[in-house]
Chain A
């Protein structure tokens, strides 16, 4: 009997494994190794350079939390920039909003999009919306040329060790600040506070964002397939507050169907464990 397991090292001493039915795809693109597997428990899942990006089973948590939190703060958002997100999950969530006029998605690796279109239609269906323009470019290069344009920037990056490295730099966050409108919001994948290496990336990102934006808050979600399961997102703006300025009523009137997100959870997600608060305070 086949006994195939996909394993990922969450630390040198901790391993996370999923029993695999088979490997659907594997290639080395110009930027990274792209693989897709099928599994019993989590359905299909995508890995980049051996790191789990999403599974069909739990991707809704990540994509809802990175999208609906800023959208509930400002449901009138018109212009959106998404950096990374080659799987289409963020696009799918954004396409639920009729008010949004345009979405630019900047993904460096065209192959990720192609592979997801072929094997992960659950998220890649998001690319079908006509309001979306896909750009296969370096995110930093793209944003360098933009000023006062976007109401929302979603940074859906990989870990800072891979091609996503530039998306964790001060120059990138500074350029995001420049590219945002006055009431604009930046939300970013903020790593995890739990394991040492992830926590370092988390703290570095926070320190750099604090250096650029006057309003910086962090919120959390539980994502089973990410290291430790405890994952953070960053919320940054030139003044807009993620809870005080939330327009819960207006958002609820939209009647969007979500599986994880609701406006009560929105508030709760910003209340963090003490050890995380302490890590963040070091830089505030």
Chain B
């Protein structure tokens, strides 16, 4: 196929050239009906914010230009089929899970999954079997899945229908995807990959293995992260054994019937750009990251880690485009450095957790901005370094799953004061940012350890989300019979 083509883009250009008179939605009519919005976003943008029509195909049932664009994308990613998604990578994750497991089915997951994964279980009624991630205690980060854990969990749950792998993690850690896939496939278990942070694996040189290359069945790819498309656009990739028409039915259960052509064209254009210039683009990103890593490590006390973490198992590979920096030796929590960078130096980074920060490096960066980041980190060390004792350590609490998230979520429940929840089953989520891993999911037993952790995290200024009670003073628990 011709990767220089961009069928959706070309169709939109033809539409503009033909000067069709719009008597259809959207009502702003190429922006003319909403001057303020047109002034803000630009006339070019509004002129292609249009509805599905014959020359532009229909996302719910693609037969022409969208189909063609998806086929070209599939080839670029080495997938059997690619879906253009407009509900964020959350919608891609949902579609993967909903098309792989049904009510009562078991799905094997690492505990450090994105909340969209557990939300999908609320929707479909599948039961999670968690694998606790290996952790690096020095860095305070979750690693990949170890092969031993995968083998043991599969042996204990031979009836599991699917396994989900985060690859790479936010920090750039990769699991041994190929071996995990082989082990799972031997048992007839479908392999789903949350590849939200791995678009570039398909296009860069010397990258960690991608889900499709590893033989995984489905992968959710956030094109808008390293791929350069618009926020909320995403890609769902399917392997050979997946019935794409069934997946489309699943997608259409929750997907809008008015898919945005701004998002769709951004996927089309970004795919073309990556297919044609991906190697060059990601070499540049890798070089930026490596330069920053060397310079940041030279400052001292910071640890910008990379491939030296590789241990053949829970860190099978490392994504060197990521710039993750441990701040423990500085005596500052990652989130404190994150705040200082923004408030004192006008630099916004991707996130800070208890012991790490992540600066997102991309093709859009300039040398002078990378220099600013490095210099600001040097200044933060000079001015704010303190004794490192008393730093909060992140930890993973083993969840005790009592029932499916769906059953718990829809059960009769009552709001209980935090201290009075021990021994009850939670009906809702508690997420803690940082580190962004569920402390509690619906259907899990609330223990003393969990209550202590919630209080501790709240005290340290972590953001807790999920429960209906906004200040997390109460949790909804299942009502006794």
> With the chains together, A174 CA to B375 CA distance in Å?
9
Please indicate the chain B residues that have their CB under 8 angstroms from the CB of A174 in the complex.
Answer: 375, 379, 382-383
Interface of A is mostly: helix
> With the chains together, A141 CA to B368 CA distance in Å?
9
Q: Are A169 and B346 in contact (CB under 8 A)?
A: yes
Interface size for A (C-beta < 8 A) is: 15
Please name the residue on chain B nearest to A170 by beta carbon. Answer: B345
> With the chains together, A192 CA to B28 CA distance in Å?
44
Please name the residue on chain B nearest to A145 by beta carbon. Answer: B298
Contact with A along B377-415 (1 / 0, CB 8 A): 011001100000000000000000000000000000000
Please indicate the chain A residues that have their CB under 8 angstroms from the CB of B378 in the complex.
Answer: 144, 171, 175
What's the interface size class on B, roughly? Answer: 10 to 19
Contact with B along A163-207 (1 / 0, CB 8 A): 101100111101100100000000000000000000000000000
Please indicate the chain A residues that have their CB under 8 angstroms from the CB of B375 in the complex.
Answer: 140-141, 144, 166, 169, 171-172, 174-175
Q: Are A170 and B368 in contact (CB under 8 A)?
A: no
Please indicate the chain A residues that have their CB under 8 angstroms from the CB of B382 in the complex.
Answer: 174, 178
A126-169 interface (Cβ within 8 A of B) = 138, 140-141, 144, 163, 165-166, 169
- Of the candidates A138, A141, A163, A169, which one forms a contact with B345 in the assembled complex, judged by CB atoms under 8 Å apart? A169
> With the chains together, A175 CA to B374 CA distance in Å?
11
Query: Which residue, A170, A171, A172, A178, has most C-beta atoms of chain B within 10 A?
Result: A171
Give the A-B pair count, Cβ closer than 8 A: 47
Q: Are B344 and A170 in contact (CB under 8 A)?
A: yes
Q: Are A171 and B368 in contact (CB under 8 A)?
A: no
Please name the residue on chain A nearest to B347 by beta carbon. Answer: A171
Please indicate the chain B residues that have their CB under 8 angstroms from the CB of A178 in the complex.
Answer: 382
Contact with B along A200-221 (1 / 0, CB 8 A): 0000000000010000000000
B323-378 interface (Cβ within 8 A of A) = 344-346, 367-368, 371-372, 374-376, 378
> With the chains together, A17 CA to B445 CA distance in Å?
77
Q: Are A170 and B371 in contact (CB under 8 A)?
A: no
Q: Are B383 and A140 in contact (CB under 8 A)?
A: no
Please indicate the chain A residues that have their CB under 8 angstroms from the CB of B374 in the complex.
Answer: 141, 144
A144-B374, A171-B345 given; A166·B368 CB < 8 A: yes
Q: Are A138 and B379 in contact (CB under 8 A)?
A: no
A94-135 interface (Cβ within 8 A of B) = none
- Of the candidates A163, A165, A166, A170, which one forms a contact with B379 in the assembled complex, judged by CB atoms under 8 Å apart? A170
Q: Are B379 and A171 in contact (CB under 8 A)?
A: yes
Please indicate the chain A residues that have their CB under 8 angstroms from the CB of B346 in the complex.
Answer: 169-170
Please indicate the chain A residues that have their CB under 8 angstroms from the CB of B372 in the complex.
Answer: 140, 166, 169, 171
Please indicate the chain B residues that have their CB under 8 angstroms from the CB of A141 in the complex.
Answer: 371, 374-375
Q: Are B344 and A166 in contact (CB under 8 A)?
A: no
Query: Which residue, B345, B374, B378, has most C-beta atoms of chain A within 10 A?
Result: B378
> With the chains together, A170 CA to B379 CA distance in Å?
9
Please indicate the chain A residues that have their CB under 8 angstroms from the CB of B379 in the complex.
Answer: 170-171, 174-175
> With the chains together, A165 CA to B372 CA distance in Å?
10
> With the chains together, A170 CA to B160 CA distance in Å?
55
Please name the residue on chain A nearest to B367 by beta carbon. Answer: A138
Q: Kindly provide the distance from the CB of A138 to the nearest chain B CB, expressed in whole angstroms.
A: 5
> With the chains together, A170 CA to B344 CA distance in Å?
8
Please indicate the chain B residues that have their CB under 8 angstroms from the CB of A211 in the complex.
Answer: 344
> With the chains together, A144 CA to B378 CA distance in Å?
8
B292-347 interface (Cβ within 8 A of A) = 295, 344-346
> With the chains together, A165 CA to B369 CA distance in Å?
10
> With the chains together, A170 CA to B372 CA distance in Å?
9
Q: Kindly provide the distance from the CB of B50 to the nearest chain A CB, expressed in whole angstroms.
A: 35
Please name the residue on chain B nearest to A31 by beta carbon. Answer: B368
Please indicate the chain B residues that have their CB under 8 angstroms from the CB of A170 in the complex.
Answer: 344-346, 376, 379
Q: Kindly provide the distance from the CB of B83 to the nearest chain A CB, expressed in whole angstroms.
A: 42
Please name the residue on chain A nearest to B378 by beta carbon. Answer: A144
Please indicate the chain A residues that have their CB under 8 angstroms from the CB of B345 in the complex.
Answer: 169-171
> With the chains together, A163 CA to B368 CA distance in Å?
8
Query: Which residue, B344, B371, B376, has most C-beta atoms of chain A within 10 A?
Result: B371
A171-B378, A174-B383, A175-B379 given; A140·B344 CB < 8 A: no
Please indicate the chain B residues that have their CB under 8 angstroms from the CB of A140 in the complex.
Answer: 368, 371-372, 375
Please indicate the chain A residues that have their CB under 8 angstroms from the CB of B367 in the complex.
Answer: 138
Q: Are B383 and A166 in contact (CB under 8 A)?
A: no
> With the chains together, A171 CA to B347 CA distance in Å?
11
Q: Kindly provide the distance from the CB of A157 to the nearest chain B CB, expressed in whole angstroms.
A: 13
Could you write out 5 A-B pairs with CB less than 8 Å apart? A144-B295, A170-B376, A170-B379, A171-B345, A171-B375
Extra 17 A-B pairs, beta carbons < 8 Å, given A140-B371, A175-B375, A175-B379? A138-B368, A140-B375, A141-B371, A141-B375, A144-B295, A144-B374, A166-B368, A166-B371, A166-B372, A170-B344, A170-B345, A170-B376, A170-B379, A171-B345, A171-B378, A174-B382, A175-B378
Interfacial residues, chain B to chain A (CB-CB below 8 A): 295, 344-346, 367-368, 371-372, 374-376, 378-379, 382-383
